[in-house]
Every structure is written in structure tokens, then in C-alpha cells.
Chains A and B, each alone.
Chain A
Amino acid sequence: MDSKTDLSRRRFLKQAGAVSAAGAVGGLSGYAGFAHAAGKPVESMNLLTANASFDPVRPEMGRLITQACQSIGWDVKLAAEDYNLGIGKVFKEKDFDMFIVRWTGRANRIDPETFISMMHSRDGSYNKWGYDNARVNELAKAQQVTMNPDKRRELVHEAQAVLFDDVATCPIVYPSMTNAYREDRLDGLVPMMGEGIGSFWSDMNVSTRSGDGYVRTGQTSPLKNLNPVSATDSNEFKELRMIYDRLIQVGPDGSIVPWAAKSVTAVDDTTVDIVLRDGMKWHDGKPVTIEDVKFTFEYCTKWKAPFFISSLEKFASMEITGSNSMRILLSEPHAPLMNNFFAQIFILPKHIWQDIPEKAQVDDVLNFANENPVGSGPFRFDYWDRGKELKVSANADHFQPPKCAGIIRITYGSHDAMAAAIETGECDRTRYILKPALVQDLDKIAGVAGRGYASHGMYGFMFNHLRGPLQDRAFREAIDLLIPRDVIRDVVMAGFATNGGSVIAPANEFWHNPAVAGRSHNVKKAKDVLAAAGYSWDGDGKLHYPG
């Protein structure tokens, strides 16, 4: 490991402790932006969440947290808005005080890159909240270039501890992936971390006891498109991965398993060798070759495939080294590559895509509808009715043929409609989140199971680190102590969650730092933390800045 990035745990703890102590003793001395506010009442702030029609849980959490903040004399207002408007305010306009967001347990978030670097390093693409901690920046970069998983884990553990101590983000709860399915009809469902029974491994292993063998799978969000180059959303990835093969897959427990590639091996920090499986065929009968794999990388680079381009930019060169093998040289080590690139990118048939977009009469591949996708995956495309359903059938020629006849993905207008369809037997299982209360209700019905499955996602309470008292670590710690996690877990989440602590959830066993225990709801302690930092209360109980 590079000596510059070799940050020992002991060294970190020393520094973190010193930072903490300085914060507690020195109060706000480190926050020049407060000078003008000394002694004044702490300004009123907004807590932004998605509205109940998008996610019934978020406004409820927000209401409980705003009440808790008001109980210590700080005026916080809840703003439950349209999801996309809220996302725009945070990520585009950066005009927000605090917001609650659900970081869903996507497969590419099993790698610590998202929660450590993208969210918390100064240059992280998600970091629109102005979080800037020199220590975290250093650790975030170090974990990116450390290819040895065990050494990388040490860095990730340290980063979690720093982030927790600095209260960079407050994980509220780790929600389970709440699913329901007809247990009287389906066998062989395989839950996956973060995806529950909606996983790829369920698609591959599920079988039906009766009927036509197709598994009717419900989801409330419509499928947007079937273009594997332009897709960026897990919603589309979940369907595309049935039609297109990937080189490797993220297994049910989050580990990497070989798929279309016999092996993807990091020979050294900047060299990756790929050996493709023999005898694979595209759905139109033509053979899958290593040339197709190389073409896929080149094509996605040329057209700047939105999801993959940042990884592809790390490629310095690539060459075919044998009838079924190739070598990639990287411009610098990049540890997230396995999980976030090789286990995500879809192999494209060169004989079809080499003529796109020219023959498709569009000027850009992002505008190509790919209405009849031809892949090499375990399912063949039958049809897609936009907004309604997608039907794929098992590909018996695949090296690992599915056990069901096929999957029919049905879009329902609401969680309630999807639950009713499960109840009546029209739908066999849910692909994605079903409202916890409905899962509870469905579980009481004969032949139906409602379950929560461990996820590495979280409901996060995010601060705008550039605004008012949120710049102050002590203030953020007080808010963290005010979050009524037990009530949120038991009542709002109907028990389908565990309390939040580290930014990497315990379900993500390999990367989670078990030494980071969350803070428990404790109003008195929150007030003590504020008082120790110099905050005070006036006769009306209103909270004032130190000074």
C-alpha cells in the first residue's frame, strides 16, 4: 500500500479524538461564519422530504424529527415536496437546509465507493451538501486505489468512524427490502442483499407450482427504457440484466461470482484479464465472442454511456490476448471497478450495435429505443408495452437456464393496487419496495408471505454543511441524538428496519465497521451537547447561538 495513504486506525483515532475535544472545548471558534450570529436565536430551518404519494414513510419520519427539534427550542419546518422537485433543489440548485433521502440498496452500492467517496469526499459526485473533511478526503481517495480488499476495508472502517464522529450524515434507519409473494405458487426465491426477492437470483431460480410457468412480478414504477447504453437506473438494470449477460454478477450475499466471464482477474493494481466463457450464443443464434466484449467497452466509451463512462475513463488500453481472452490496462488503480463496472455493464452484440445509431435513424445512441433487444442473457425478450408490462421467456440455450418459463413485469399504479393484485393472485411477487404496513397485512393472508429482507441501503438525514448551525459538529451531534429512531423503526417502518449508525449498514458485513454504534435518542444528552458547545436558551425556551 502507498505509504501516503496508509492511515492507521490508531493514528486516525488520535486525530478524531483531538478534533472532537477541540470542538467541545472551543465551541464555535472554528466556525468563522458564526461571528455575526453570536448570541442570536438559531434561525428557523426547513427539513425537505419527498411527499407521501412518493414514499409514505418519509414525511412521517420528518414530522417526528421536526417535533423533536422544536422540543429543544429550535424551529424546524417540514417541507414534503414532489420527489423530483426535491432532488432538483438538492442536487441542482443546492438550495436546502436538511433533507431525508432513501439510499436504496442497489448492487453497485455494496461497494463502499458510494457511501464513502461519492457522498462524502469533497469532490464526490453526490456531495452537493458541502461536506469537506480533509481526513475523509484522504481516506476516500486511498480506498479507491487500494486493490487489496482487506487493506481497503481498513481504510473504509476508518472512514466510517471519522464520518460518524464528525456527524457528516445521520443514518436514520436501515430499512429492510419489504416484499410480498404468493408462497402457495412460487418456489426457489433467492433473496439478495438490498434487493430482497426481486433479485436476479430469484429470477434465475424461481419456479411455479401451477399455471403457465411465468412469474408475474409487480412494481409501482414503470420501466423507462430498454437501452443498455443509456440506462442509469436500477429500475432498468433489473430488467436488462435478464436479457443481456454481464461478465460477472454480484451474488446474493454481495460477493462477486463469475457469469459470462470465466474469470475477471486483477493481475496487478492496473492490469485486468478477462476470460470469456465458451459456447455462448446471442438470442439470434450468432456466437458471443471476446470481440463483442471489447466492442462493448469501446462503444460505451465512444458514446459516453452515462453510467459507465467514469469507469471507462480509467481504461488506458485494451487488447485481445487469445480466442476468448483480453487484457485491460488501467491508467490508475480503481478498486470499485469490479463491483461497479464489470458486474454492471451489459455485453452488447457487435453485429447489431455497430450500426447504431446510423441505421436506427437517430443521431445519438441515447435516443435509440432498442425496441427489440437481442442479448445473450438467460431470458429472451418477448414484448414491452410501455407503462404496462414487459414479458421475457426463459432462454433454454443459456449456460444457466432459468427454472421458470419466464417473467412478466407488471406496472401497478400504486402500492395498494399491487398489494390487491398479490391478494387476488394476479401478481406472484413484488420486485421492489412495498409499503411496510401492506406487507404486514398481506402476511396475514393464506398463501401469501410478506417479509422484510436485509438491505445495505439507509434512510439518511442529510445536512447542508454550508448553512448556519449545521456547520457546527456539536449542533449536528445534537440533532443526531434527537432522532427518535426506536419510534421510527417500530411505528413508521412497522418493524421492518434497524436503527442507523454508520453510513455503511451492518447488512453489508464485509465493509461495515461494527465498532461504529449509532447514537440513541436522548433529548437530555442533546441539550447537554449544545450547552457544552456554548448554546443557550432564552426565557421562552428558544435556542440561541453561543456568545
Chain B
Amino acid sequence: MGDYILRRLIYTLITIFAVASILFIVFRMLPGEATLQVISPAMDEAVQERMRAAFGLDQPLWQQYFIYLKNLVTLEWGRSFVSAQEVTDILSYRFWNTILLMAAGMCLTLVLGIGFGIIMAWKRNSALDIGGTVISLIFQAAPPFITGLLLLIVLSYRLGIFPTGGMYPPGMRPEGLLELLVMPEFWHRIVLPTITVGAYYISTPMLIMRDSMLEVLGSDFIELAKAKGLKPSRVMLRHAARNALLGVVTIASIMVGFAVGGQVVVESLFSWPGMGQLMVESAAAHDYPVAQGTFLTLAILVISLNFLTDVAYCYLDPRIKISSTGLT
């Protein structure tokens, strides 16, 4: 077991290193020049040269690469080319905004997904089962910007029930997380993006729960429970659902990773100041330090979650054995 975890850890670190290197290359391959964003091309060539030197862009690429790697390890992620703020400061603020949105979306997804999955399996082949499957697949097939736009058009622009975006009303920035969480305007604003995230991801836990439930419902111990004369609701929730939940629990961590990385569209649509919006802004602005930091943070998060899932598998499901090469 210890060997296996160590080996997985080494693979994880190699993957992160590879991602970091790819990011470095990809951003420098982007057409256009970083300095154009922050300095007018009409400025003196000497001034532009000075700007490049201040950013460290005057050094050879290989040298920039080694500085970049060294800074990654020492957690000195540099300063934004555009605002000169420290990348780690920008990321820490944006990261939690994304986590808040993702957490709300995932709660909605899991609670409703699991709940509907249970009911759909219990009422197999009913209108609810078929309708639920079709609707969830439609939501999954529809890109979040379609769902989000429709919600915005109907509930914000037409009916005026929800604000169009942002995390809090203009001019009311809260001091700290607690103040944000007790702000009614925040909860008002998180509804639409949460529904958008939830609608997109709900089919996964719902259908997995439904399938696991169907499998469990065919088991002997369920027949026995029914034969004992237990109430159907008790059989469904206490006996069947609890056993069917394992499949959803294992997929949830992977889903969370993807959900964090997949907030780009939702955040842009609802002007949510999170990592996704930061990704778009910084990539468009050729703000290499911030763009690299954003992508790398998300990559580390997703890769680490995968690592933790792999490790958790060993403990959660004793039926899984570990061979010399890993899981079997």
C-alpha cells in the first residue's frame, strides 16, 4: 500500500511538472505580444524595451523557463504584468469565489441528483423515470452558456427576479468571507449560476444513483427486507439507497475537480469573479504570470483530487486489490 501511494505521488508530481512546462510553452506560443497590452506600441522603443526588462521578457526563453520553475517551487509566482499585483494574492481571492460557487453547485447537484436517482429507480419505467432521464440528458448536452443565458433572459431581464451577475451589488464589497456569507444579496446572486452548474452536472450522480439502486434493488437482502414487511420507504432509503451510494461518492470527487475547472463559462456569463473569469481575462491580456498561475492551480487541484480518489479507493472498497503495478 505504501509503495503504491508513493508511486502514485511520484506520477502526480511528474504530471504537475509536465502541465507546468506545457503551460509555459503554450502561453508564449500565443500570437501577439504581452507588452502590447500594457504599453502603447507608439511609445519609444527604449521605453518598450524597459517594460520588457521589468517583466523579465528580455531574457532568453530557456532562462525564463528555469526562473519560472524555480519560482513555482518556492511559491513565488510573480506579479501580474497588467496590475503588478502579486499572483498569489489575486489567486487566493479568486480561488475562494470559485470554491463558493462550485460548492453551491455541487450541493445542489448531489442532493437533487441522488434524490431523483433513488426515486427514479424505485419507480422504474414510470413517466418520472423516463422524463427525469431525458431532461437530465438534455441539460448535460446543452452547454452551460445556453442554460445560463436562458435563465438570465427569462429570470433576470424579463421578469427581473434575479440580478444579472456579480457576487454582491456594486459598491458593497464585504470585508471577508463571513460578511459575504451573511449578505442576502450574495445568496440572491448565487442562485442562477448555481442552477446553471447544477443542471449541467446533475445527470451524472442521478443516473449513477439510479443504476446502482436498480442493481441493489435486485439483491436478495432487499427481497428479504420486503418479505420482513418493512415499510417501502425504509427499504428504499435505509437498505437500498445506502448501499447504492458508494458509486456516487467515488465519482463525486472527480466531478468536483472537473466542476472547479469547468467554471470558465458560468463565471464569465454571470460576471462571477472567480478563477474561470480570471483565466479568460489573463489569457486574453497575455498576462503570463496570472494565466499560468490560474491554469496551474486548477491543474494541481484536479490532479490532486484524482490522486486522493485513487488512494481513497484502496480504503473505501476492500474488494479492490493492489498489484505491484497499481490497482486491479
Closest chain B residue to A127, Cβ basis:
B42
Select A391's contact among B36, B40, B85, B171, beta carbons within 8 Å. Answer: B171
Closest chain B residue to A93, Cβ basis:
B33
Interface pick from B15-23, B211-219, B270-278: B270-278
CB proximity to A under 8 Å, residues B124-170: 156-157, 160, 163-166, 169-170
A87 with B84, Cβ < 8 A, contacts A222-B281, A309-B47, A387-B273 known: no
- Tell me whether chain B's interface is mostly helix, strand or loop, or mixed: loop
In angstroms, Cα B43 to Cα A169, docked, is 21
Select A387's contact among B163, B171, B277, beta carbons within 8 Å. Answer: B277
Number of interface residues of B (CB under 8 A): 46
- With a CB–CB cut-off of 8 A, which chain B residues contact A224? 37-38, 82-83, 285
Select B39's contact among A306, A362, A426, beta carbons within 8 Å. Answer: A306
Residue-wise interface mask of B (28-41) relative to A, using a CB-CB cutoff of 8 A (1 in contact, 0 not): 00011100111111
In the complex the two chains form, is A309's CB within 8 Å of B164's CB?
no
A227 CB–B CB distance under 8 Å = yes
Residue-wise interface mask of A (414-429) relative to B, using a CB-CB cutoff of 8 A (1 in contact, 0 not): 0001001100101100
Interface pick from A20-28, A191-199, A201-209, A367-375: A367-375
Interface pick from A336-344, A405-413, A502-510: A405-413
- With a CB–CB cut-off of 8 A, which chain B residues contact A408? 170-171
Residue picked from A214, A366, A412, most chain B C-beta under 10 Å: A366
A399 CB–B CB distance under 8 Å = no
Residue-wise interface mask of B (258-300) relative to A, using a CB-CB cutoff of 8 A (1 in contact, 0 not): 0000000000110101000110010001100000000000000
In angstroms, Cα B40 to Cα A125, docked, is 10
A225 CB–B CB distance under 8 Å = yes
Select A84's contact among B36, B44, B46, B157, beta carbons within 8 Å. Answer: B36
In the complex the two chains form, is B273's CB within 8 Å of A388's CB?
yes
Select A232's contact among B40, B83, B84, B281, beta carbons within 8 Å. Answer: B40
In the complex the two chains form, is B47's CB within 8 Å of A306's CB?
yes
Closest chain A residue to B165, Cβ basis:
A417
A92 with B41, Cβ < 8 A, contacts A82-B32, A306-B51, A387-B277 known: yes
Residue picked from A227, A306, A385, most chain B C-beta under 10 Å: A306
Closest Cβ–Cβ distance, residue B298 to chain A (whole Å): 17
A383 CB–B CB distance under 8 Å = yes
Closest Cβ–Cβ distance, residue B100 to chain A (whole Å): 15
Select B160's contact among A118, A304, A391, A424, beta carbons within 8 Å. Answer: A424
In the complex the two chains form, is B79's CB within 8 Å of A85's CB?
no
Closest chain A residue to B34, Cβ basis:
A84
In the complex the two chains form, is A417's CB within 8 Å of B271's CB?
yes
Select B44's contact among A309, A406, A412, beta carbons within 8 Å. Answer: A309
A88 CB–B CB distance under 8 Å = yes
In the complex the two chains form, is B54's CB within 8 Å of A232's CB?
no
A225 with B82, Cβ < 8 A, contacts A232-B40, A306-B51 known: yes
- With a CB–CB cut-off of 8 A, which chain B residues contact A453? none
B234 CB–A CB distance under 8 Å = no
In angstroms, Cα B39 to Cα A429, docked, is 28
Closest Cβ–Cβ distance, residue A236 to chain B (whole Å): 10
Select A369's contact among B38, B42, B83, B277, beta carbons within 8 Å. Answer: B83
A413 with B54, Cβ < 8 A, contacts A88-B32, A212-B171, A309-B44 known: no
Closest chain A residue to B153, Cβ basis:
A420
- With a CB–CB cut-off of 8 A, which chain B residues contact A426? 163-164, 169-170
A225 with B84, Cβ < 8 A, contacts A118-B42, A388-B273, A426-B170 known: yes
Select B164's contact among A87, A386, A391, A420, beta carbons within 8 Å. Answer: A420
In the complex the two chains form, is B79's CB within 8 Å of A362's CB?
yes
In the complex the two chains form, is A367's CB within 8 Å of B79's CB?
yes
Residue-wise interface mask of B (296-309) relative to A, using a CB-CB cutoff of 8 A (1 in contact, 0 not): 00000000000000
In the complex the two chains form, is B173's CB within 8 Å of A383's CB?
yes
In the complex the two chains form, is B170's CB within 8 Å of A389's CB?
yes
Closest Cβ–Cβ distance, residue A422 to chain B (whole Å): 11
In angstroms, Cα B53 to Cα A424, docked, is 46
Closest chain B residue to A428, Cβ basis:
B170
A184 CB–B CB distance under 8 Å = no
In the complex the two chains form, is A367's CB within 8 Å of B54's CB?
yes
In angstroms, Cα B130 to Cα A312, docked, is 75
A321 CB–B CB distance under 8 Å = no
CB proximity to B under 8 Å, residues A421-472: 421, 424, 426-427
In angstroms, Cα B194 to Cα A69, docked, is 51
In angstroms, Cα B170 to Cα A406, docked, is 12
In angstroms, Cα B270 to Cα A388, docked, is 12
In angstroms, Cα B44 to Cα A216, docked, is 36
In the complex the two chains form, is B171's CB within 8 Å of A214's CB?
yes
A259 CB–B CB distance under 8 Å = no
A233 CB–B CB distance under 8 Å = yes
Residue picked from B40, B42, B82, B269, most chain A C-beta under 10 Å: B42
A323 CB–B CB distance under 8 Å = no
Closest Cβ–Cβ distance, residue B36 to chain A (whole Å): 5
Residue-wise interface mask of A (228-260) relative to B, using a CB-CB cutoff of 8 A (1 in contact, 0 not): 001011000000000000000000000000000
In the complex the two chains form, is A369's CB within 8 Å of B85's CB?
yes
In angstroms, Cα B89 to Cα A386, docked, is 11
In the complex the two chains form, is A410's CB within 8 Å of B79's CB?
no
In the complex the two chains form, is B40's CB within 8 Å of A420's CB?
no
State the B residues within 8 Å of A (CB): 31-33, 36-44, 46-47, 50-51, 53-54, 79-80, 82-86, 90, 156-157, 160, 163-166, 169-171, 173, 268-269, 271, 273, 277-278, 281, 285-286
State the A residues within 8 Å of B (CB): 82, 84-85, 87-88, 90-92, 118, 125-126, 128, 212, 214, 216, 222, 224-227, 230, 232-233, 304, 306-307, 309-310, 362-364, 366-371, 383, 385-389, 391, 406, 408, 410, 412-413, 417, 420-421, 424, 426-427
12 CB < 8 A contacts A-B: A84-B36, A88-B36, A88-B41, A90-B41, A232-B39, A306-B43, A309-B44, A363-B54, A364-B54, A367-B79, A387-B278, A388-B273
20 further A-B contacts with Cβ under 8 Å, apart from A225-B84, A386-B90, A389-B171, are A87-B36, A88-B32, A91-B36, A92-B33, A126-B42, A224-B82, A306-B40, A306-B50, A306-B51, A366-B51, A366-B84, A367-B84, A369-B80, A369-B84, A388-B271, A389-B170, A413-B269, A417-B165, A421-B164, A424-B160
